[in-house]
Amino acid sequence: MMTLPPDLERYIEQFSAPLPPILDEIERDTWLKTPYPQMLSGKIQAGLLGFLTGLVRPRRILEIGTFTGYATLAMASAMPPDAMIDTVESDPVTAEMARSYFERTPWNDRIRLHLMPAARFLEKVREPYDLIFLDADKENYPLYYKLLKPLLSPRGLWITDNVLWSGKVLAPRDPASRGIHYFNELVARDKDLTQTIVPVRDGLMLIRLQ
C-alpha cells in the first residue's frame, strides 16, 4: 500500500470537501475492533469515491465488499436522492458493524446490505448498475470480472480497488497477487472496455465500456 507523509495527507484533507462525520467514528472503531483495519478505504480514497459518485450520478450502485461500511457511506453521501446501493459482505461481524452505522444515517433506507458470498448474489442479478465498486477477496477478482462486466450499464463506471497490491502485482506469487494481476490483464485485453489505473492508496482501476 502506498502512503503519503502525514503532513501531506492532512494538507489534502484540509483542501478537500469534508466527509460525513460518521466516517471518523467508523475509522476509529475499525482500528479498535477488527483484525485487519488497513482494509479501510481511508479519507483520501473516500473523498475520491464520493466525488466520482457525484459525477456519475448513478441510480443503482453495487459494492462488492462492504467491510465496516466506510466506503459505502462515502458513496451514499454523494448519490442522487433516487439512488439505491446494494452492498454485499460475507463476514457477519463486519456486516453487523456496517449495518449499525447505516441505521444512523439519512441514507439507511436506500442501502441494501446483503450478507452472502458475492458470487452467489451476482448470479441472481439481472439489472445493470451505473456505479460498481469492487473491493473483496482478491483471489476471486478474475471471477468478478466475468460476473460484473455484464452488469455495467452503458454509461456506468466500474471502480476496482487494490489493483497494485503494494507492488506485489509486479511479481505475483501468492493467490491474491495472482488474482489481481490476472484481473488487470483481463481488463486490459478486453476490447469492450477502457480503463486507467489511479495510484491512490493501493491503486484504483477506473473502468467503463468503450
Here the CATH number for the domain that contains residue 183 is: 3.40.50.150
Domain annotation covers residue 149: yes
Structural domain span for residue 106: 6-209
Domain annotation covers residue 103: yes
Check whether 1 has a pLDDT greater than 80. Answer: no
Q: In total, how many domains does the chain have?
A: 1
pLDDT of residue 51: 98
Residues near 152 by Cβ (< 8 Å), separated by ≥ 6?
Answer: 128, 129, 132, 158, 207, 208, 209
Domain annotation covers residue 101: yes
Domain annotation covers residue 145: yes
Task: Kindly indicate the confidence band of residue 15, based on its pLDDT and cuts at 50, 70 and 90.
Answer: very high
Reading phi first (left if > 0) and then psi (alpha if -120 to 50, else beta), residue 127 is in beta
> Angle formed by the axes of helices 22-33 and 43-56, to 10°?
130
Report how far residue 120's alpha carbon sits from residue 199's, in angstroms, rounded to the nearest whole number. 31
Domain annotation covers residue 202: yes
- Alpha-helix residue ranges (DSSP H) falling in 57-91: 70-76
Mean pLDDT of 17-44: 94
Mean pLDDT of 54-83: 98
Averaged pLDDT score across all residues of the chain: 96
Task: Kindly indicate the confidence band of residue 202, based on its pLDDT and cuts at 50, 70 and 90.
Answer: very high
Domain annotation covers residue 1: no
Mean pLDDT of 169-189: 97
Domain annotation covers residue 119: yes
Q: Mean pLDDT check: name the lowest of 2-11, 110-119, 129-138, 172-181.
A: 2-11
Residues in the chain: 210
Check whether 3 has a pLDDT greater than 90. Answer: no
